[in-house]
Copies of this chain bind each other. A is one copy, B any other.
C-alpha cells in the first residue's frame, strides 16, 4: 500500500504478496475496500507504536510536540516501509471519491489533528507558545510543511528535504513564540 497507493492494493496483488490464493483471501475480506480499510487501520497501529509512543516519553509541552514532529516527518522510510504515507496519498486519491475508504482516511486525519492540537495546547498552557496562538492555523501550516517534505523527499527525491522542513518548522515555532507581554505576565505571577 505504501508503494502502490490504496487503489493499487487489489486482492490479486495482496494474494501474491502473502502467498495465498485470491479465493482464500476472499474468505477473509468481503471487498477490496475492506482490505484497504484493514490496511489503513494496521498502518495507524504501526504509526501509534513507532511515531507517537516514543514521542510521548518526551517532557509534556514543547519538547513533546517537537519530538512528535521529528518522528512524524519521513516516518514510513525510517520505519522500513519502502513507500510513502498512505494518509497523505489518500488525500489526493480519495478527494473526489465517496467511499468508506475516504471516510476512514478522514477519521484518521481528524484523530491525528486532535493529537497535534492537544500537544500544541499543552505548550500554550505552559507558556512555551503564545497565549493568543491560532492553534488550528498552526496545525494547518504544519500539515503543509509535512506535505512539502513528503513531495520533496519522495517525488522530487531532493537531498535537502529534512533541512528545509527543519527551517520551516523553526520559523513556525518562532511566530508562535510567547509575546513579551505573555512573558511579563508569567514573571509577575
List residues of chain A with CB under 8 Å of any chain B CB: 3-5, 7, 82-84, 88-96, 105-106, 109, 134, 136-137, 140-141, 143-152, 154-156, 164, 167-168, 171, 175
Contact = CB atoms under 8 A, between A and B. Distances in A.
Contact of A168 (B106, B141, B147, B164): B141
Number of copies: 2
Contact of A147 (B151, B167, B171): B151
Nearest to A89: B92
Contact of A92 (B96, B109, B141, B155): B155
A102 to B, nearest CB: 8
A106 B157 CA distance: 10
A79 to B, nearest CB: 16
Nearest to A152: B140
Given A148-B144, A151-B91, A167-B137, A83 B96 contact: yes
A173 to B, nearest CB: 12
A153 B145 CA distance: 17
Nearest to A7: B7
Interface centre among A91, A105, A134, A145 (most CB of B within 10 A): A91
A92 B93 contact: yes
A84 B96 CA distance: 8
B96 A4 contact: yes
Contacts of A7: 5, 7
A155 B4 contact: no
30 contacts: A5-B92, A7-B7, A82-B96, A83-B95, A83-B96, A84-B95, A88-B92, A90-B155, A91-B151, A91-B154, A92-B93, A92-B151, A95-B155, A96-B154, A105-B155, A106-B156, A109-B156, A134-B167, A137-B167, A137-B168, A140-B152, A140-B164, A141-B164, A141-B171, A143-B151, A144-B144, A144-B147, A144-B168, A147-B148, A171-B175
